[in-house]
Amino acid sequence: MRSYNLPYKKSNPRSVRGALRRGWYEVKVPDNYVEKLGLSFVGLQIYAGSQSKGYHVSQYLPQPRFAFENIEDAAFFTLKWSCPYRDWE
């Protein structure tokens, strides 16, 4: 069984604001993500945890957003979930 959580590092931030101060990469989730993506915020957190190669932190209020340690993880998450052209059908 695969563990989706990376081991704890003492230098990891505990909030998105703290991550941005350390130079992490922010991804904002669109406001209507539940209707548009058909996925809850917890689903996005599970996906980010299972697909990220580095660490990430998330925030639900006032606007859902994630901060990723690696730019590759942030770009992949953005292309997968925040792309405005997903609903071409």
Q: Is residue 84 predicted with pLDDT exceeding 60?
A: no
Mean pLDDT, all residues of the chain: 82
- Complete edge-to-edge strand list for the sheet that includes strand 25-28: 25-28, 65-68, 56-59
Q: What's residue 17's pLDDT? A: 92
CA 44 to chain centre: 7
Q: What's residue 8's pLDDT? A: 74
Assign 3 a pLDDT band (cuts: 50, 70, 90): very low
pTM of the model: 0.79
For residue 84, say if its preceding peptide bond is cis, omega within 30 degrees of 0.
no
Assign 50 a pLDDT band (cuts: 50, 70, 90): confident
